[in-house]
């Protein structure tokens, strides 16, 4: 069956059962792979005890995942352009399934981290593949509703990861986190390899050999450096955090200059002409802030509930579950509202509520009741639910069809770097503040609660930027994407 050209599809008013099948398979597969980004959060205390490792070392199970994603995602724009849909899908799910098996069999932390890296390679390919395929197949009038389903995957999967982990850990050892996921991943791989058709139109895209290592050093250096700064003095890697960040920023400048030169002849690994759209630029800023808030909260709340409020892993997982379900239930409705009313009516209140909740979380103490934490997480989930779908839809709708794969890759890369930055910042602030107070004689629970408060206070301050940005985002007008892609 002949592939569908992006422009032809965009002019239609509906999409076929075949297209729905493709999107459904990709949605399910992406949900499974993204779930693993936060599924280890609640399991870290158990892993630290079983493997005899420190908290800073165990944190690499999450950070290595994000680090690999940040390195691989910039290359996916090139892969999606060069290859058909099915082989890209098979490549992604094979890598993820292999990594899951390695994690399940890992005898020590080093092998477990390696398995997470292999998992992340598959995840990094699936995210841009899903977004690019949606933008290619779905007509503009229905993109909000379809992106609502995509938002279920990208926002809810990380949110319910701790819940699933907590339930598994209450009855089984930590390896079962991977043994339960493995057959689902393999089944999805087999079904997709047999039934998913090729819906893209591959075109020749020369690879710039120099851009690949530049991207790896730039994005990888930033994520590694931010994580190392978050670890503080408790753990030193082969390269200091400051050195890695400086190297990452310097290489990023070279990488950007290289892409600006190459895109003149359509040879860029990551085409930066997407940033000619003001809507795309502002959406990227807001997405970075939202990911810092989401992953920062998903890291800190389990630490707070288990080590300050003395809740179990299962109780923590159940406490975080309603928020994930709320985001999932909201996403299709929010997508429909976007299609009818645009982005601003959703994004502005969402940004304001997000900032308000982070400000309230900055008042947590060792005596805060668990149901107050539950209520705060629910309200924060509502705010993020109002933000994710409009941001995904508006940002990618603002770029030309031929740049969808690059826009998806940039969006995914920013999510990972911002998530790593948020995790590192929140953990660093919490650790430094709690350690300082503990050395001064403060009680352990009180000191840790103070560290959590400081981290959320900084999060609230950063989220003010989201409020300011929200007023500049709107739904792109007809033909605006093409204009943004052809004029500086």
Q: What is the pLDDT of residue 81?
A: 74
Contact status, residue 154 vs residue 419, Cβ threshold 8 Å: no
**Cα–Cα distance measured from residue 304 to residue 311, given in angstroms and rounded to the nearest whole number:** 9
Cα 372 from Cα 70, distance rounded (Å): 35
Full DSSP string of 415-469: HHHHHHHHHHHHHHHHHHHHHHHHHTT--HHHHHHHHHHHHHHHHHHHHHHHHHH
Place of tokens 């003010």: 464
What are the phi and psi torsion angles at 393 (to 5°)?
-70, -50
Sign of the torsion angle spanned by Cα atoms 431, 433, 436, 437: negative
The Cα 135–Cα 146 span in angstroms is 9
- The encoded tokens of residue 235 equal 């753990």
Picking from 18, 31, 324, 280, the residue whose alpha carbon sits closest to that of residue 149 is 31
Residues 6+ apart with CB under 8 A from 331: 148, 149, 151, 152, 155, 156, 385, 388, 389
pLDDT of amino acid 355: 92
Integer CA distances (angstroms), 380 to 7, 233, 260, 327, in order:
37, 32, 38, 10
pLDDT of 374: 92
Q: In this predicted structure, what is the pLDDT of residue 231?
A: 57
Phi, psi angles (nearest 5°) of residue 404: -55, -45
Write down all domains in the chain, each with its CATH number in brackets.
10-486 (1.20.1250.20)
pTM, to two decimals: 0.74
Note the pLDDT of residue 155: 66
Given the structure tokens 């430094």, which residue do they identify?
Answer: 432
pLDDT tens for each residue of the chain, 488 residues long: 334 443 334 344 456 677 778 888 888 888 888 777 777 767 777 887 888 877 667 777 877 887 788 788 888 877 777 778 888 889 999 999 999 999 999 888 889 999 999 998 998 888 788 877 877 777 777 777 777 777 777 667 776 777 777 788 878 888 898 999 899 999 989 988 888 877 666 666 667 788 888 888 888 888 777 767 655 544 455 567 778 888 989 999 999 999 898 888 877 888 888 888 888 889 898 888 888 887 778 778 888 888 888 888 778 878 888 887 888 788 788 888 888 888 888 999 999 999 999 999 999 988 889 899 999 999 998 998 888 888 888 888 888 877 887 888 888 788 777 877 787 788 888 888 888 888 887 788 888 888 889 989 988 888 898 898 888 888 776 555 555 444 43
pLDDT at 324: 77
Residue 3 pLDDT: 40
| Token code pair at residue 16 | 């076929």
SS3 at position 310: coil
Report residue 181 as tokens.
């996921």
CB contact set of 423 (below 8 Å; sequence gap of 6+) = 62, 63, 66, 227, 230, 295, 296, 299
């Amino acid at each position: 069956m002949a592939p569908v050209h992006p422009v032809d599809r965009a002019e239609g008013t509906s999409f076929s059962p075949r297209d729905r099948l493709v999107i459904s398979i990709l949605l399910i597969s992406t949900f499974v792979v993204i779930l693993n980004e936060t599924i280890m959060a609640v399991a870290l205390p158990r892993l630290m005890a079983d493997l005899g490792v420190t908290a800073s070392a165990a944190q690499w199970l999450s950070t290595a995942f994000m680090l690999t994603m940040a390195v691989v995602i910039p290359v996916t724009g090139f892969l999606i352009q060069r290859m058909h849909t099915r082989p890209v899908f098979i490549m992604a799910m094979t890598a993820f399934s292999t990594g899951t098996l390695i994690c399940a069999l890992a005898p020590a932390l080093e092998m477990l981290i390696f398995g997470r890296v292999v998992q992340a390679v598959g995840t990094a390919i699936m995210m841009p593949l899903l977004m690019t395929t949606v933008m290619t197949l779905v007509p503009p009038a229905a993109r909000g509703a379809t992106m609502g389903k995509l938002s279920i995957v990208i926002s809810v999967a990380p949110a319910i990861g701790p819940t699933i982990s907590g339930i598994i850990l209450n009855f089984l050892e930590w390896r079962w986190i991977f043994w339960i996921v493995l057959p689902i991943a393999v089944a999805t791989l087999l079904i997709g390899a047999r039934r998913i058709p090729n819906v893209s139109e591959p075109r020749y895209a020369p690879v710039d050999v120099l851009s690949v290592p530049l991207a790896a050093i730039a994005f990888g250096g930033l994520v590694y450096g931010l994580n190392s700064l978050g670890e503080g003095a408790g753990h030193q890697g082969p390269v200091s955090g400051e050195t890695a960040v400086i190297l990452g920023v310097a290489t990023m400048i070279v990488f950007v200059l290289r892409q600006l030169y190459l895109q003149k002849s359509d040879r860029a690994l990551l085409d930066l002409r997407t940033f000619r759209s003001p809507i795309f630029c502002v959406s990227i800023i807001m997405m970075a802030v939202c990911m810092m808030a989401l992953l920062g909260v998903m890291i800190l709340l389990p630490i707070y509930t288990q080590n300050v409020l003395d809740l179990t892993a299962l109780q923590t997982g159940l406490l975080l579950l309603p928020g994930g379900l709320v985001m999932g239930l909201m996403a299709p409705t929010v997508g429909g509202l976007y299609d009818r009313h645009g982005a601003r009516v959703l994004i502005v209140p969402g940004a304001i509520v997000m900032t308000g909740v982070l400000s309230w979380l900055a008042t947590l103490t060792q005596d805060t009741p668990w149901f107050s934490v539950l209520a705060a997480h629910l309200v924060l989930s509502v705010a993020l639910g109002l933000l994710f779908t409009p941001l995904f839809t508006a940002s990618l709708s603002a770029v030309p069809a031929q740049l969808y794969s690059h826009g998806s890759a940039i969006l995914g890369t920013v999510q990972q770097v911002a998530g790593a930055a948020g995790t590192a910042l929140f953990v660093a602030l919490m650790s430094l503040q709690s350690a300082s107070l503990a050395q001064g004689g403060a009680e352990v629970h009180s000191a840790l609660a103070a560290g959590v408060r400081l981290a959320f206070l900084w999060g609230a301050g950063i989220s003010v930027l989201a409020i300011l940005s929200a007023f500049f985002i709107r739904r792109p007008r007809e033909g605006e994407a093409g204009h943004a892609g052809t004029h500086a």
